[in-house]
Amino acid sequence: MINRSMDTLKHQLIEEMIIVSLVIMFFLWHFPSAAVPIVTIPIAVLLSFIPLFGMKLTSNIMSLSGIAISIGVLVDGAIIEVENAYKKLQLWDAGGRRGDYRDVLLSAIKEVGPSVFFSLLVIAVAFVPVFTLVDQEGRLFKPLAFSKNFVMAIAAILAITLDPAIRMLFVRMNPKQFKPRWLSNIFNSVTVGKYYPEENHPVSKRLFKVYEPVCRWVLKHRKATLIATVVLVISAVPAYLHLGTEFMPPLNEGAILYMPTTLPGISVTEAQKLLVTMDKILKDTPEVERVFGKAGRAETSTDPAPFSMMETTVVLKPSKQWRRGMTWDRLIDELDKKMQFPGVTNAWTMPIKARIDMLSTGIRTPVGIKVYGSDLKAIEKIGTDVEAAVKNIKGARSVYAERVTGGYFVDFDLKREALARYGLSVDDAQMIITSAIGGEAVTTTIEGRERYSVNVRYARGLRDDLDKLKRVLVPTASGAQVPLEQLADIHLSLGPAMIRDENGMLSGYVYVDIAGRDVGGFVNEARKVVHDSVKLPTGYSLQWSGQYENMLRVRERLKVVIPITLFIIFVLLYMNTKSPVKAGIVMLAVPFSLVGAIWFLFFLNYNISIAVWVGMIALMGLDAETGVFMLLFLDMAYDDAVRLKKMNTHNDLEEAIVHGAVKRIRPKLMTVAAMFMGLVPIMWSFAAGADVMKRIAAPMIGGIFTSFIMELLVYPPIYFIWKKKALLPAAN
């Protein structure tokens, strides 16, 4: 599974690098400028492994995922810088090339450098909530946060060091000094290229044609635009309320763990027969490669499983060999229908996932109910009542309450008077019971490096029912053989097969396997049903556990951390813009992006999980970055108009805004397209590890799309209203 997951992510990384490089080349239409961000991608990715190695982090699904979701973002700084340099060089070229082109490049980089730096810093700060995660989710997602921040930090350093240096290498060859002339012309066409004015640029002129009338319309209808924006943001609320919740999306391990449970008391022979029958049925399924079943426990305290709790590992063939149209969920449903045995409750999970769940919460199913109290019989009664209440809820594939007092025991009540009559002690009788019935190790056999103890006891035919046990002979000191029934009352009794002790209380578990529903929605409904139908005696309590317990822990932590992170981002934006209004305008990108993120999750039928939240957190940084760049170009256009003394009327303000929004649409669209297209390859992958990556990428893809569209439509009117009131109160 590790190898398959790593191959998936490596393949996606290569796809993303190629796609982002093509996007940059298409929008710039200028090889020397496009070469800078294209070269930055592999260098930043490779250098990011140095700090990962220094922190002793491994290359795993999450660490590579952090790099994968950053491919389209890490070149944003380089894109903005080279595009601004391209613009300045075009004006320099058109103006007769006055001055040194190096000074032109440096001034262009300095003009956008602070905004680039702060936007990258905001992206890093946005991942603070991920670093605060603890327990299972912290171990899972901290490598992703580290790798993403490392590659972004390296990209930021390259943006102010390597990228300008590479751009300086592309100089024009003087035809008078280098012969033949055709060679210098070819060299200049490759290293310098042709600079197009924005109006004549092959890409920009088409973008202007589409965006300029739209921009002018929203500036004329500012109030309608803002009202429509509010309505659109509010529309995401009902969609969000319809989203299900879960702790983690499934990670296809390539194997299924089938965990049937029967009532306590099943014999070794019956358990073996049942296990063999189940394995044969599972093996006959076309998608199954091999199966291996286990009943009982190993000789270890970490696996206290009775015969009634079986486990069968079902190793599946590669998905390419599955029947047409067969999916993971359909395969589980088909197997569940085949494995219907009287008195057997099924549960389906995956081997690694089951071990993690059992180690973290003790519950091997997605949902579990822990019953706490002081009396085992009362705990069992409550558990069976909960089982009856929950099993009819939609989505409950199987429900099983542990029969904590359902163990069968053979009790030997020794008669002390009879023992004394025959001159026997209690120890003598117990020794016979132990050795003849339970077995006694008499020697050890050595087979090479292996050692096996040899146990001796009565054959099964002499001890498999009570009548035969009563005829077990006990030797006396006189040499007489006394039947055991004369020395003890032998009978069957019920008692606890296994006693659980948790949080200082006796406990019993109710296992709930669900299908076709999200964990959070199922538990919310089940809690209401259990509250209404199950009455708890004084001193007894219920705890909902399993994945639901982890999900609650993450949700409560993020409720605190995400608002704090948003405040820190606002402070950083204020430090960059020196204006609370500008910082607030940039922060509007957050609700804009949530619209697309939520609706995209709704259409994909994804549940809200920790992976989705990580995608949302990553989206916050991207929102701020796109908002910073949009505001940057509006400010540059406004400042140029003020410097040229062309800011006298409201029409002048409108023209400046149109120039900043429309004439610089190409770099803004290029950065967003690089982000967007860098994430798209993740969504069309179906290999191992892709399910988790899709949940991270989905909110980012949907959010980037709507955030950018709404920024293009809403920022100009808001900027106009702000500048009109603050700077042009007397204009007409």
> What pLDDT is stored for residue 656 in this prediction?
87
Looking at residues 467-477, what average pLDDT do you find? 86
684 and 650 in a common domain: yes
- Is residue 393, in this structure, part of any structural domain at all? no
- Is residue 532, in this structure, part of any structural domain at all? no
- pLDDT tens readout for residues 492-504: 888 777 788 888 8
212 and 72 in a common domain: yes
273 and 171 in a common domain: no
The DSSP annotation for 183-198 comes to: HHHHHHHHHT--PPPT
- Is residue 163, in this structure, part of any structural domain at all? yes
Q: Which of 312, 328, 349 is the last residue of a domain?
A: 349
Mean pLDDT of the chain: 81
Q: What is the CATH number of the domain that holds 444?
A: 3.30.2090.10
Scan for tokens 């002790």, then name that residue: 501
179 and 267 in a common domain: no
The span from the CA of 238 to the CA of 215, in Å, is 30
450 and 337 in a common domain: no
Q: How confident is the model at residue 683 (pLDDT cuts 50, 70, 90)?
A: confident
490 and 639 in a common domain: no
- Is residue 698, in this structure, part of any structural domain at all? yes
- Closest by alpha carbon to 656, among 670, 645, 668, 671? 645
- Is residue 711, in this structure, part of any structural domain at all? yes
- pLDDT tens readout for residues 625-658: 778 778 888 888 888 888 888 777 888 888 888 8
Scan for tokens 């024009």, then name that residue: 172
Q: Is the pLDDT of residue 123 over 90?
A: no
> What pLDDT is stored for residue 278 in this prediction?
92
- Closest by alpha carbon to 85, among 174, 199, 165? 165
Q: Which domain holds residue 684?
A: 2-242+579-727
Nearest 10 degrees: CA dihedral of 241, 247, 249, 254? -150
Q: How confident is the model at residue 586 (pLDDT cuts 50, 70, 90)?
A: confident
- Is residue 463, in this structure, part of any structural domain at all? yes
DSSP for residue 438: I
The span from the CA of 415 to the CA of 411, in Å, is 13
The span from the CA of 626 to the CA of 50, in Å, is 29
Joined together, the tokens standing for residue 685 give 């992958």
Q: How far apart are the first and last CA of the chain?
A: 68
* Distance of alpha carbon 475 from the chain centroid: 67
The span from the CA of 104 to the CA of 82, in Å, is 12
> What pLDDT is stored for residue 167 in this prediction?
66
- Is residue 172, in this structure, part of any structural domain at all? yes
**Which of 260-269, 298-307, 556-565 has the weakest average pLDDT?**
298-307
Q: Which of 324, 349, 374 is the last residue of a domain?
A: 349
The span from the CA of 569 to the CA of 121, in Å, is 9
259 and 238 in a common domain: no
> What pLDDT is stored for residue 519 in this prediction?
85
Q: Is the pLDDT of residue 173 over 50?
A: no
Q: Which of 299, 328, 349 is the last residue of a domain?
A: 349
304 and 219 in a common domain: no
> What pLDDT is stored for residue 139 in this prediction?
84
> What pLDDT is stored for residue 195 in this prediction?
60
Q: Which residues pair with 494 in a beta bridge?
A: 408
Instruction: Return all residues near 413 (Cβ < 8 A) that are at least 6 apart.
Output: 488, 489, 490, 491
Looking at residues 25-36, what average pLDDT do you find? 71
Q: What is the CATH number of the domain that holds 275?
A: 3.30.70.1430
Number of domains into which the chain is organized: 3
Q: How confident is the model at residue 693 (pLDDT cuts 50, 70, 90)?
A: confident
The span from the CA of 279 to the CA of 338, in Å, is 11
Surface-to-core class of residue 555, CB atoms within 10 Å of its CB (0-12 exposed, 13-18 middle, 19+ buried)? middle
277 and 214 in a common domain: no
**Which of 19-28, 245-254, 470-479, 548-557 has the weakest average pLDDT?**
19-28
| CB neighbour burial string for 104-119, b if at least 16 within 10 angstroms, e if fewer | bbbebbebbbebbebb
- Is residue 501, in this structure, part of any structural domain at all? no
> What pLDDT is stored for residue 277 in this prediction?
92
Residue with more model confidence, 204 or 539: 539
Q: In angstroms, what is the C-alpha Rg of the chain? A: 35
Write the CA distances from 581 to 78, 215, 223, 228, 617, integer angstroms.
Answer: 27, 21, 19, 21, 23
431 and 282 in a common domain: no
* Apex 650 CA angle, 223 and 666, nearest 5: 75
**Which of 6-10, 232-236, 352-356, 514-518 has the weakest average pLDDT?**
6-10
> What pLDDT is stored for residue 174 in this prediction?
47
The span from the CA of 436 to the CA of 473, in Å, is 9
> Hey, is 393 helix, strand or coil?
coil
**Entry pTM:** 0.76
Looking at residues 385-402, what average pLDDT do you find? 88
341 and 205 in a common domain: no
- Closest by alpha carbon to 398, among 458, 357, 337? 337
Looking at residues 662-682, what average pLDDT do you find? 80
Q: Is the pLDDT of residue 303 over 70?
A: no
> What pLDDT is stored for residue 193 in this prediction?
56
The DSSP annotation for 210-232 comes to: HHHHHHHHHHHSHHHHHHHHHHH
> Hey, is 410 helix, strand or coil?
strand
The DSSP annotation for 454-514 comes to: EEE---GGGTSSHHHHHT-EEE-TTS-EEEGGGTEEEEEEEE-SS-EEETTEEEEEEEEEE
Residue with more model confidence, 95 or 661: 661
The span from the CA of 654 to the CA of 600, in Å, is 34
C-beta atoms surrounding 341 within 10 Å:
13
621 and 477 in a common domain: no
The DSSP annotation for 84-138 comes to: HHHHHHHHHHHTT--S-HHHHHHHHHHHHHHHHHHHHHHHHHTTHHHHT--HHHH
Q: What is the CATH number of the domain that holds 661?
A: 1.20.1640.10
Q: Is the pLDDT of residue 175 over 60?
A: no
